Structure 1
Amino acid sequence: MDEEEDLETLGEQLYTRIYPKHKDTAGKLTGMLLELPGPVLSQMLQDEAMLTAAVEKALRALQLEQEPSRVTCKDEDDVSVSSDSLGEQLFELVDIYNTGHSQKITGMLLEQHKEAVLNLLSDPKLLEEQVNFALKTLKEQNEETDVSDSSDADDTEKLGEKLFSLVEEMDPLHANDITGMLLEMDTAALQQLLSDHTMLEVAVQRAQAALDT
């Protein structure tokens, strides 16, 4: 019940703000904006620029509804233009959520069928779910990248420690330099050296020879 009362209050405030500039369509525009989430509406009432942008978007949508003949007989150019405008409308709505990844999330959502994108534009709850899901996916991708980077660094460090202890037994005086030279090899080769003592001895002798020159 409280939510309904809040929505009614928001609706009255929105209507009062919209009416002076759009007398004929104020009722319809208010109704369209009231489909947005409550927190977004409250923010709009405090932010004039945000409210103006939302009203303009709603106006464009109204104009499209009132021009069905143009929508039904589109040629190739019109179709591409409509896709662009879909992207713009979606970006503006996604941007309201201040995720910091509006461009990426819009791109992800636009990969869906046109009907699905139109559903997102008309259903704020569905849009919010999809934005949150896309944001979660982006975060997981970033975490995976971070983890793989750090695990590579950890592996190299561990290999370096093992290698150093083995090289130190053979040449304590130059262990640091030789280990450094061997660590320039790729991980697979290093693991082979650690598992094959003969190969390691050969690699150490080569490194010693290089140091002597």
Structure 2
Amino acid sequence: MDENEDLETLGEQLYPLIYHKHQENAAKLTGMLLELPGPVLSQMLQDETLLSEALEKALRALQLAEEPSELTRKVEDGVSTSSDPLGEQLFELVDVYNTGHSQKITGMLLEQHQDAVLKLLSDSRLLDEQVKLALKTLEEQIVEETDVSDASDADDTERLGEKLFILVEEMDPLHANDITGMLLEMDPAALQQLLADGAMLEVAVHKAQAALQVALQAALQAPS
């Protein structure tokens, strides 16, 4: 199954869930969510809370894109504005992509001229291109930093483990060690995304808790 077929399948599964809550904008919202990475979409299909959060972000982005904002009207009327309101609106749109780097990408896009930023607020296709380009740049920077660093993989894993443990302990103090150990089996890039996205981390922790419960039940049922 190729990527287009995967997206089509995910879209067919997402649409009924979205239509149930947002009939008028179901098609647009489904299309917006299908811009997200496949693994994230798969998690949304399994986690109603994660899907609801993504839909809220998409709805805000849709409203900003379809309705001329007070900020845009002021600029069109020649009234000078600061970059803060622009940044807030742009962040709302960028956050829909759920990249785990919303703040950094927003900051990168805000380095452009104000007119260029305003175009991003009104042109979803242009914004999509700019977000993907910024994300690619960030990923390349991460790779370069990793290549330059002399730290061993074990040291990197230990640092990630320490950061993860602190977050996991807040969710499940009793099983924090076991869950952190399970999460550390993931790819480092995926771990970085978990550290940056609380919703994704919560989903991963719930899955680890379920796996631990299954393992515990199996151990209890095993013959002595």
Call closer, same or farther: CA 1:78–1:53 in 2, change over 3 Å.
farther
Q: Which sits farther off after the overlay, 10-19 or 104-113?
A: 104-113
Call closer, same or farther: CA 1:134–1:60 in 2, change over 3 Å.
farther
Larger relative CO (CA 8 A, sep 6+): 1 or 2? 2
| Structure 2: gaps (5+ residues) | 152-224
What is the 5 A alignment of 1:1-213?
A: 2-68=2-68, 70-74=70-74, 75-76=79-80, 79-87=83-91, 89-90=93-94, 93=97, 96-97=98-99, 102=101, 105-106=104-105, 109-110=108-109, 112-113=111-112, 115=116, 118=120, 121-123=127-129, 125-139=132-146, 143=149
Number of aligned positions between the proteins: 140
- The answer to whether the 8 A contact 2:105-2:134 is kept is no
Q: Compute the displacement of 1:83 (Å).
A: 1.1
Once residues 139 and 122 of structure 1 are traced to their aligned partners in structure 2, the CA distance between those partners, rounded to angstroms, is 27
Call closer, same or farther: CA 1:7–1:127 in 2, change over 3 Å.
farther
Call closer, same or farther: CA 1:121–1:16 in 2, change over 3 Å.
same
Rg: which structure is higher?
Answer: 1
Once residues 58 and 3 of structure 1 are traced to their aligned partners in structure 2, the CA distance between those partners, rounded to angstroms, is 23
Once residues 103 and 126 of structure 1 are traced to their aligned partners in structure 2, the CA distance between those partners, rounded to angstroms, is 13
- The answer to whether the 8 A contact 2:91-2:103 is kept is no
Amino acid at match of 1:136: V
Q: Compute the displacement of 1:67 (Å).
A: 1.3
| Structure 1: gaps (5+ residues) | 147-213
Q: What secondary structure is seen at the aligned counterpart in 2 of 1:133? A: helix
Q: What secondary structure is seen at the aligned counterpart in 2 of 1:35? A: coil
Runs of 4+ displaced beyond 6 Å: none
Calculate the TM-score normalised by the size of structure 2. Answer: 0.48
C-alpha RMSD of the superposition: 3.7
Calculate the TM-score normalised by the size of structure 1. Answer: 0.50
Call closer, same or farther: CA 1:104–1:71 in 2, change over 3 Å.
closer
Amino acid at match of 1:22: H
- The answer to whether the 8 A contact 1:29-1:59 is kept is yes
